[in-house]
Amino acid sequence: MSQCRRFEEWLDRGTENGFAELETHAAACGPCREELELWNRISQAAPSLRKRWESPGLWVRIEKSIHESRRADEASRGRKESRAWWPLLAAAALFLVAMIGLRVFRPSLGERELLTSRSFSKPLLTEDALSDVEKSEERYVASIERLSRLAEPKLRQPSTPLLISYREKLLLLDTAIAELRSQLDQNRFNTHLRKELLAAYQEKQHTLEQVVKEEKS
């Protein structure tokens, strides 16, 4: 290291401010001139670090992995579509059983009047249950939103690579949630989609908790 500390002191300041004065000083100070030359040579040498090499198989690998991913997506979508028929089949089977039951245990006219007055005025149980699920889902989403607001400042300007990764993951989760919600809008009774949506929300909650913890640590 040089005897003169001017260059070191400038480095310790941590900004490029004062560079012009340093250059003036270095013109008359040998050790600082050497350090300044090295400083400038770093930028001059940096472009030579650009690496170029042939990789003829790379694009083929990329295309292959994208095709495989697309095929996997299509297969998974196909499975989901076939599963989408299950509730319909279950409902049809239930209807059939109910119709048979109705024939076997058909109540008398008096009993029928009683049943009409007591039960049929109430809404269907499944609709009630679904409404409960939707309400608790709304509360869950609201609590995640609150967590989201807590984590937002850190995610807006992430200071660590881990936070950047979390932000990317949350973007992907939001996309998945939006997609599942739009599918659910078309079929509110699809329990499989609801389970998937719940899993996505749980993952989002877990990720946000990690972000908040990261913020504290």
Partner 1 sequence: MKSLAANLLGTPSEAEDAVQETFLKIYRAAASFRGSATLSTWAYRVLVNTCYDLLRRRARRPESPVSSVEPPVDFGSAPATDHPLRVDLAASLAALDSRRRAAFVLFEVEGFSHREVGDILGVPEGTSRSLVFEARRELQRRLLGSREARA
**Residues found near partner 1 in the complex (CB under 8 A):** 1, 11, 14-16, 35, 38-39, 41-53, 55, 58, 61-62, 65-66, 69, 157-161, 163-165, 167-168, 171-172, 174-175
- Exposed, middle or buried by CB within 10 Å (0-12, 13-18, 19+), for 215? middle
Q: Between 119 and 182, whose beta carbon lies closer to partner 1? A: 182
Nearest residue to 145 via CA among 90, 82, 201: 201
Alpha helix (H) residue ranges in 15-57: 19-28, 30-45
Nearest approach, Cβ of residue 44 and partner 1 (Å): 7
Nearest approach, Cβ of residue 198 and partner 1 (Å): 21
How far is Cα 29 from Cα 4, in angstroms, rounded to an integer?
8
Nearest approach, Cβ of residue 142 and partner 1 (Å): 23
Are 190 and 133 in contact, with CB atoms under 8 Å apart? Answer: no
Q: Between 118 and 156, whose beta carbon lies closer to partner 1? A: 156
Nearest approach, Cβ of residue 126 and partner 1 (Å): 33
Q: Between 53 and 105, whose beta carbon lies closer to partner 1? A: 53
Q: Between 150 and 155, whose beta carbon lies closer to partner 1? A: 155
How far is Cα 144 from Cα 174, in angstroms, rounded to an integer?
12
Residue 150 phi, psi (nearest 5): -65, -40
Contacts of 166 (CB under 8 A, 6+ apart): 155, 158, 207, 210, 211, 214
Nearest approach, Cβ of residue 107 and partner 1 (Å): 55
Q: Between 7 and 201, whose beta carbon lies closer to partner 1? A: 7
Nearest approach, Cβ of residue 89 and partner 1 (Å): 32
How far is Cα 86 from Cα 89, in angstroms, rounded to an integer?
5
Nearest approach, Cβ of residue 84 and partner 1 (Å): 21
Residue with tokens 């083929």: 60
Give the tokens for residue 148. 């989201």
Q: Between 47 and 110, whose beta carbon lies closer to partner 1? A: 47
Inter-axis angle of helices 30-45 and 19-28, to 10 degrees?
130
Q: Between 28 and 58, whose beta carbon lies closer to partner 1? A: 58
